């Protein structure tokens, strides 16, 4: 069992930030704060200039990281710095362009050497992912895939056969971003996917409050992923690091407390 699968037995709270936002040094300190506050898995976005799946909050974080000089080399350096004080599972969320430009074999090899546990390539469909799936197995990295409410049962079986770590269930249509409510259809979506695979299921997109995390866990998910709400705290406190870290710690602690209220009932 991989570290990601072990963490998802919890259930897991998965905290997302963009690597290098607002600068590489502070990005490491943010990661430490999220870990200290109880995050079970850390998801680091590889900053990209044209992220089609991300809403304005994460797009601005990508811009800040790129303006601070963050490159793929920097991302791997950030992972190594986190590894110096934590063995938390680390997932990279990227688009295919950075992988292609570096060369897939080199990207996966260096990710493994840095201490990455999983990679999700947001714009790479499973039908075109044979090369990276082979590389993920060669280097002992979980290849994570997105599943939407529109994913057909036939395609879901293909994704489950190639995936490792967990399946990333996209709770809403559209791009990333905090939303006031989670969809009423979410429990049925989780149940439908659960019937097709024994892999852990983690729900993301729109998850932002303790009630959301509790509802996701009660609906049968193995993890809840929160990104935009975390990034918003960073954005609001760019020139006030103590306030930023205090806000991140308090917010993350409130979410990790709620994930324990898992039951078999629907929200």
Please give the sequence-ordered ranges of beta strands (E in DSSP) within the chain, or none if there are none.
12-18, 41-45, 90-94, 118-121, 142-147, 167-170, 201-204, 223-226
Helix axes 241-258, 210-218, angle to 10 degrees: 30
Q: Report the predicted TM-score, pTM, of the whole model to 2 decimal places.
A: 0.93
Domain range summary for the chain, segments of one domain joined by +: 3-258
- Please give the positions annotated as active site: 43, 54
pLDDT, tens digit, 9 for 90 and up, residues 23-59: 999 999 999 999 999 999 999 999 999 887 788 899 9
Q: Which residues contact 206 (CB under 8 A, 6 or more apart)?
A: 171, 172, 177, 178, 179, 182, 212
Predicted pLDDT at 185: 86
177-216 residue pLDDT tens: 444 567 788 899 999 999 999 999 999 988 888 888 888 8
Measured CA distances, 43 to 38, 180, 193, 266 (Å): 14, 22, 22, 27
Calculated CA dihedral for residues 208, 229, 256, 24, nearest 10 degrees: 160
Structure tokens at 10: 């919890």
Residue ranges for the chain with pLDDT beneath 70: 172-181, 258-267
C-alpha span between 194 and 180 (Å, rounded):
26
From the DSSP assignment, how many helices (H) and strands (E) are in the chain?
A: 12, 8
| Those residues with Cβ within 8 angstroms of residue 243's Cβ, 6 or more apart along the chain or in another chain | 237
Domain 3-258, CATH 2.60.120.260 — does that match? no
């Amino acid at each position: 069992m991989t570290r990601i699968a072990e963490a998802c037995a919890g259930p897991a709270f998965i905290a997302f930030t963009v690597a290098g936002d607002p600068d590489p040094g502070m990005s490491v300190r943010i990661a430490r704060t999220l870990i200290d506050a109880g995050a079970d898995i850390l998801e680091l976005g590889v900053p990209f200039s044209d992220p089609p799946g991300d809403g304005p909050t994460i797009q601005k974080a990508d811009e800040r990281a790129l303006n601070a000089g963050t490159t793929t080399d920097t991302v791997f350096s950030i992972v190594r710095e986190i590894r110096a004080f934590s063995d938390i599972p680390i997932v990279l969320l990227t688009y295919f362009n950075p992988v292609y430009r570096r060369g897939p074999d080199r990207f996966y090899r260096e990710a493994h050497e840095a201490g990455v546990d999983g990679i999700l390539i947001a714009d790479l469909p499973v039908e075109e992912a044979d090369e990276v799936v082979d590389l993920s197995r060669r280097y002992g990295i979980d290849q994570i895939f997105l599943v939407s409410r529109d994913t057909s049962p036939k395609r879901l079986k293909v994704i489950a056969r190639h995936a490792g770590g967990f399946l990333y269930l996209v709770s809403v249509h559209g791009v990333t971003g905090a939303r006031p409510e989670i969809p009423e259809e979410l429990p049925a979506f989780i149940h439908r996917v659960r019937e097709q695979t024994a892999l852990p299921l983690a729900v993301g997109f729109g998850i932002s409050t303790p009630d959301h995390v509790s509802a996701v866990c009660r609906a049968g998910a193995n993890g809840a992923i929160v990104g935009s709400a975390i990034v918003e705290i960073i954005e609001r406190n760019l020139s006030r690091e103590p306030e930023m870290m205090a806000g991140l710690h308090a917010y993350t602690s409130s979410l990790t407390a709620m994930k324990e209220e898992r039951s078999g009932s629907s929200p």
